[in-house]
């Protein structure tokens, strides 16, 4: 696969080509679930709950991430799908958490899967970092699908500048 830049309607920047891994992007879904299982497996295999502050911070991140995922899923409603390609009956959602970042389910997931290892096994933070990278790449693939499906996506992505983390990325 070529690594040449391709233009998109997701703002004025040019995005590097990220493979879509299947017609609907199913490879990204499989990869994220394998990484989630690996994180849980690492937590079980190498538990470390000796730090009260780390456990408390991890629990707070987990709870905050869970709230973000729930709010984002509710905002998506019937448009929700695990695949980067939008659901056939879906529509462009720009309210709720989608008014702050373009991929709040991934944002919440990063908090959840960062909080779990922080609280229970810092060794699993490596997997959480890889999962965050996978979601950042999956978001780019998803944005190509969204831009092709919804003409208003260009305006939305110009208005909501951040993909995953407000004021950062």
DSSP letter string over 74-114?
Answer: HHHGGG--SSSSPPTT-----SGGGGT-S-HHHHHHHHHHH
Residue 96 backbone class (left: φ over 0; alpha: ψ -120 to 50; beta: rest):
left
**Burial bucket for residue 27 (CB in 10 Å: 0-12, 13-18, 19+):** middle
Calpha distance 71→99 (Å, rounded): 12
Total-model pTM: 0.86
* pLDDT score at 91: 93
State the CATH architecture for 53-169: Up-down Bundle (1.20)
Query: Residue ranges of the domains in the chain?
Result: 53-169
- Give the per-residue pLDDT at 6: 34
Look at the block and give the residue holding tokens 């720009």: 94
Strand partners, 90: none
Q: What is the pLDDT of residue 5?
A: 34
Q: What is the pLDDT of residues 87-131, one digit of tens each?
A: 988 899 999 999 999 999 999 999 999 999 999 999 999 999 999
Model pLDDT, residue 8:
41
Q: State the pLDDT at residue 134.
A: 97
Predicted local distance difference test score (pLDDT) of residue 16 = 58
- Report, as ranges of residue numbers, the positions in the chain whose pLDDT lies below 50: 1-15
């Amino acid at each position: 696969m070529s690594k040449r830049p391709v233009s998109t309607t997701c703002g004025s920047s040019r995005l590097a080509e990220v493979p879509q891994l299947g017609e609907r992007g199913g490879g990204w879904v499989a990869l994220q679930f394998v990484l989630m299982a690996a994180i849980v497996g690492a937590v079980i295999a190498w538990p470390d709950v000796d730090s009260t502050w780390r456990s408390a911070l991890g629990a707070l991140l987990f709870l905050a991430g869970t709230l973000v995922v729930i709010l984002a899923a509710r905002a998506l409603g019937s448009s929700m799908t695990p695949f980067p390609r939008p659901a056939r009956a879906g529509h462009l959602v720009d309210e709720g958490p989608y008014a702050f970042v373009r991929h709040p389910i991934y944002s919440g997931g990063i908090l959840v899967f960062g909080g779990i290892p922080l609280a229970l096994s810092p060794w699993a933070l490596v997997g959480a970092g890889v999962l965050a990278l996978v979601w950042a790449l999956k978001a780019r693939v998803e944005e190509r699908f969204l831009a092709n499906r919804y003409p208003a996506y260009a305006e939305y992505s110009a208005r909501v500048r951040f993909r995953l983390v407000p004021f950062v990325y």
